[in-house]
Chain A
C-alpha cells in the first residue's frame, strides 16, 4: 500500500531532523502493510460479513427507494439513483470504517500491557492507527469491492466514470477509514483514566452509526438534529464519502466536504495526541 495519509505528517514528528520524516513514513508504511496482511487472515469472517452487508443492502434499498417514491421522486436531496448508491456504498464501507468502537488497544490499556508500547520509540497513537487502518483497508477487497460490483450488476446502482470524481471519492473513503480509527483511538485512550471503557465504546457504537448516516442519510434529519450531526465528525465517516463517490456532491462542493474531513482528521489526531501525552504522564505517576 502506498498510503501516506497527508494530515499525519503534521504530527509531533514534524520537529525531528530531516531524514527522520522518511524513516517515520517507512516505519508506518510497514505497520500499515502488516495490518493489511493480518486482515487477510480472517477470510471466513470476511465472507460472512459480505453476506451480511449484501442482505442489509437489499433491505435498505427496498425501503429507501420506496420512501423516495412516496416522497414524489425526491427525498432529502436524493433521487432514486442517488439513494440506491447510498444504500450500497454505505454497506460497502461498513467493513472498513470502524463504527463499533472496538480495538485491541482498549484491551492493552486495560490490562496494562500498553506500558510496553509506550516504551517503544514509536508513537502509540500513530503506530496502532497505522496497523488498524491497514487491517481495515484489506476489508475493501473481500467486502467493499464485491458489494460495489454487486450493487452495479444486480442492485441497479450507477457510479460516475469520471476519473477525477472517482479519485476524489477514493481519497474521501480513505480519509473516512482513517478518521474512524483516530476516533476509536480516543475511545480506547479514555482507558488511561477509567477502568472500564465499554460504556464509552457502546455509546460510540450507538451514536456514530446514527449520526454518520448508517440508517438514513443525515440530510433527512430534522433541522436541529441535522445541525447537531454536522457539529460532530460522524457524517465524515459515511455520508461524505458516499456523496463524493456517487457524485451527488461534486465540483467545489466535493472539495469542500473533503476539506471538512481533512480538518476533522487533524483535529481528532491532535486530541488523541494530547490524550496520549497526558495518559503517559498518568501511567508514569502511577507506576512511580
Chain B
C-alpha cells in the first residue's frame, strides 16, 4: 500500500523529470543514421536562413537602420534563443496529438504538475546544431561590430539571451494553451510561433502598423533581439520604439510567461470542463 516510508530515498524534485528526459535522449540518439540526418538538416536550414539575409544585403547597405554586421548580431541572438527554447520546450506543439491519443489523461495519473510533465516529456536533441548556427552568427556578430566591452555589456548580453529564450519558451507554452481550443488548427498558433521566429531576425523598424501591434507589443518579439542590439550598438532605432527599450527584454519574458500561464490554465480548465 501507499506507505510513505517506502518513498523518498533517491529523491529530489527533479528525479522524475530527469528520468524521462534521460531516456528520451537515449531513444533519440540510438538511431544513429536518422539522428545524424536531423543534426545535418538543422544546420542546413539555419545556413539557408542566413543565406537569405546575405542575399538581401548584397544589394543594400542597410535595412531599417541596421547594416549587415548589426543584423548578424540580431540573427545570432534571435536564433540562439529560439533554438534553445525549441530544444527544451518546442515539442509542446504536439499537444493536439496528445489530446487525440489521450496521452494527457495519463499525465493526470502522475504526481507532477501537468505543464511540467508536458515540457519534460520530450527534448529535441537534434536542435543542438541549430543552436550552433545561432551561436556562430552571434560570435561573428559580436566580433564584427564595434562594441565597447565592459562587464556591464557582458551581463547585458547574458540577460538578453536568457530573457529571449524564456520569451520564446513562453510563446510555445501560450500556443499549447490555445491548442486546447483549436485542436485542428495548430498551424494557426504556428503562424505566431514560427512567424515570431522569422520576425525576430528582422529589423523591427521596417514593420508596418499591424506587425508592430502583433510582434512589437502583443507578442513582444521586438524585445528578443532587435531592441537589445539597437541599445547595445547605440543605434537610432525605430521612431515608435526608443532604443532604451532594449533594456526591458526581461520584462518581455515576464509578460510572455504571464500570458502563457494564463493561456495554459484556461486551456486545462476547458479540457477538464469536457470541452476538449
Chain A partners chain B: yes
A interface with B by C-beta (< 8 Å): 42-45, 47-49, 51-56, 58-59, 61-63, 65-67, 70-71, 75-76, 196, 198-199, 202-203, 206, 209-210, 215-216, 220-222, 225
Determine if B58 is an interface residue (Cβ-Cβ < 8 Å): yes
The residue in chain B whose Cβ has the minimal distance to the Cβ of A222 is B58
Determine if B191 is an interface residue (Cβ-Cβ < 8 Å): yes
Some 13 contacts from A to B, beta carbons below 8 A apart, are: A43-B184, A44-B184, A48-B188, A51-B188, A53-B191, A54-B191, A65-B206, A67-B59, A70-B62, A71-B60, A202-B37, A203-B41, A209-B48
Contact, CB under 8 Å: B210 / A58? yes
Determine if B144 is an interface residue (Cβ-Cβ < 8 Å): no
Contact, CB under 8 Å: A52 / B63? no
Contact, CB under 8 Å: A62 / B211? yes
Apart from A61-B208, A210-B51, 17 more pairs, CB < 8 Å = A44-B185, A48-B184, A48-B188, A48-B190, A51-B191, A52-B195, A55-B192, A55-B214, A59-B195, A63-B202, A66-B64, A66-B203, A67-B56, A67-B60, A67-B63, A203-B44, A215-B52
Question: A198 to B35, alpha carbons, bound, how many Å?
Answer: 11
Determine if B182 is an interface residue (Cβ-Cβ < 8 Å): yes
- Max chain A Cβ within 10 angstroms of own Cβ: one of B51, B189, B208: B208
Contacts known (A58-B210, A62-B211); A196 close to B34, Cβ less than 8 A: yes
Identify which of A51, A58, A199, A206 contacts B48 (C-beta below 8 A). A206
Contact with A along B163-198 (1 / 0, CB 8 A): 000000000000000000011111111111011001
Contact, CB under 8 Å: A52 / B55? no
Question: A42 to B191, alpha carbons, bound, how many Å?
Answer: 17
Contact, CB under 8 Å: B187 / A59? no
- Max chain B Cβ within 10 angstroms of own Cβ: one of A55, A61, A76, A215: A55
Determine the chain A residues whose CB is within 8 A of the CB of B211 once the complex forms: 58-59, 62
Contact, CB under 8 Å: B188 / A59? no
Contact, CB under 8 Å: A202 / B41? yes
Determine if B199 is an interface residue (Cβ-Cβ < 8 Å): yes
Contact, CB under 8 Å: A216 / B52? yes
Determine the chain A residues whose CB is within 8 A of the CB of B64 once the complex forms: 66
The residue in chain A whose Cβ has the minimal distance to the Cβ of B33 is A196
Determine the chain B residues whose CB is within 8 A of the CB of A47 once the complex forms: 185, 188
- Max chain A Cβ within 10 angstroms of own Cβ: one of B55, B63, B186, B192: B55
Contacts known (A49-B187, A62-B206, A63-B63); A198 close to B56, Cβ less than 8 A: no
Contact, CB under 8 Å: B60 / A59? no
Contacts known (A48-B187, A56-B195); A221 close to B45, Cβ less than 8 A: no
Minimum CB–CB distance for A209 against chain B, Å: 8
Question: A125 to B127, alpha carbons, bound, how many Å?
Answer: 35
Contact, CB under 8 Å: A198 / B34? yes
Contacts known (A44-B184, A52-B195); A66 close to B206, Cβ less than 8 A: yes
The residue in chain A whose Cβ has the minimal distance to the Cβ of B205 is A66
Identify which of B41, B60, B186, B187 contacts A70 (C-beta below 8 A). B60
Contacts known (A55-B192, A202-B41, A206-B48); A45 close to B185, Cβ less than 8 A: yes
Question: A49 to B189, alpha carbons, bound, how many Å?
Answer: 10
Contact with A along B6-33 (1 / 0, CB 8 A): 0000000000000000000000000001
Minimum CB–CB distance for B130 against chain A, Å: 13
The residue in chain A whose Cβ has the minimal distance to the Cβ of B58 is A222
Determine the chain A residues whose CB is within 8 A of the CB of B183 once the complex forms: 44
- Max chain A Cβ within 10 angstroms of own Cβ: one of B34, B41, B49, B189: B41
Contact, CB under 8 Å: A70 / B185? no
Determine the chain A residues whose CB is within 8 A of the CB of B190 once the complex forms: 48, 52
Question: A161 to B29, alpha carbons, bound, how many Å?
Answer: 56
Determine the chain A residues whose CB is within 8 A of the CB of B55 once the complex forms: 215-216, 220-222, 225
Identify which of B33, B185, B210 contacts A48 (C-beta below 8 A). B185
Determine the chain B residues whose CB is within 8 A of the CB of A216 once the complex forms: 52, 55-56
Determine the chain B residues whose CB is within 8 A of the CB of A65 once the complex forms: 206
Determine if B61 is an interface residue (Cβ-Cβ < 8 Å): yes
Determine if B156 is an interface residue (Cβ-Cβ < 8 Å): no
- Max chain B Cβ within 10 angstroms of own Cβ: one of A42, A45, A51, A220: A51
Contact, CB under 8 Å: B202 / A210? no
Contact, CB under 8 Å: B37 / A199? yes
Determine the chain B residues whose CB is within 8 A of the CB of A48 once the complex forms: 182, 184-191
Contact, CB under 8 Å: A45 / B187? yes
Contact, CB under 8 Å: A55 / B195? yes
Determine if B207 is an interface residue (Cβ-Cβ < 8 Å): yes
Determine the chain A residues whose CB is within 8 A of the CB of B188 once the complex forms: 47-48, 51-52
The residue in chain B whose Cβ has the minimal distance to the Cβ of A54 is B191
Contact, CB under 8 Å: A71 / B191? no
Contact, CB under 8 Å: A63 / B192? no
The residue in chain B whose Cβ has the minimal distance to the Cβ of A156 is B208
Determine the chain B residues whose CB is within 8 A of the CB of A53 once the complex forms: 191
Determine the chain B residues whose CB is within 8 A of the CB of A70 once the complex forms: 60-63
The residue in chain B whose Cβ has the minimal distance to the Cβ of A195 is B33
Determine the chain B residues whose CB is within 8 A of the CB of A51 once the complex forms: 187-188, 191
Determine the chain A residues whose CB is within 8 A of the CB of B210 once the complex forms: 58
Determine the chain B residues whose CB is within 8 A of the CB of A44 once the complex forms: 182-185
